[in-house]
Amino acid sequence: MKTLTFTKTSLLAVLIGSVLALSVTGCSDDKESTTSTKVAKSSHNPNPFDHSGDVKVTDSEKQKFEHEFAAQCVNRELKNSENKDSDRERFTKPCICIAKFLMKDLTAQEAEKFLVEHENPQSLAIKYENAAYHCLQEKVPPHEPDFSRP
């Protein structure tokens, strides 16, 4: 019988404690909570892929980026070249294409890293891979041979 009363008493204490805890947390000042949620909402971007609030890159920065990136690309390609004059002409067109392709989606942070700090951020390296694929692929794919004819 002792165990039964102990269980009833503890159950009653847990029930009263939970009712009190729920009622105390339900009584809070609404004005403080709305200001804290407004601050939290303004500092957190709900859509991480929405870059509409980012700082825009000016046209002059984009042009400067295009010229410097194309020059760096040509110099990098000419580093191990035997005939630099003819290779410079051959590498200039794809490097300008890559620079223009990168310039379309250039962010302010990437432009600052490249132009001011002379670093290549990882996001720029990823975009470079895509741009190189786009600019260096063959324009007309070769036709497969038709072996079905005798």
Considering the domain boundaries, does residue 80 fall inside one?
A: yes
Question: What domain count does the chain have?
Answer: 1
DSSP secondary structure code for residue 1 in this structure:
-
Q: What is the pLDDT of residue 100?
A: 92
Q: What is the pLDDT of residue 82?
A: 86
Rounded to whole angstroms, the Cα distance separating 117 from 108 reads 13
Considering the domain boundaries, does residue 127 fall inside one?
A: yes
pLDDT digits (tens, 9 = 90+) for 37-73: 444 444 555 555 555 556 777 888 888 989 998 999 8
Q: What is the pLDDT of residue 41?
A: 47
Structural domain that includes position 88: 59-136
Considering the domain boundaries, does residue 66 fall inside one?
A: yes
The pLDDT mean for the chain works out to 75
pLDDT at 112 exceeding the cut of 80: yes
pLDDT at 105 exceeding the cut of 60: yes
pLDDT at 125 exceeding the cut of 70: yes
Considering the domain boundaries, does residue 68 fall inside one?
A: yes
Could you tell me if residue 144 is left (phi over 0), alpha (psi between -120 and 50 degrees) or otherwise beta? beta
Rounded to whole angstroms, the Cα distance separating 88 from 77 reads 8
* Average pLDDT of the segment spanning 114-128: 86
pLDDT digits (tens, 9 = 90+) for 2-20: 556 667 788 778 878 777 7
Considering the domain boundaries, does residue 102 fall inside one?
A: yes
Considering the domain boundaries, does residue 112 fall inside one?
A: yes
* Average pLDDT of the segment spanning 123-142: 79
Considering the domain boundaries, does residue 52 fall inside one?
A: no
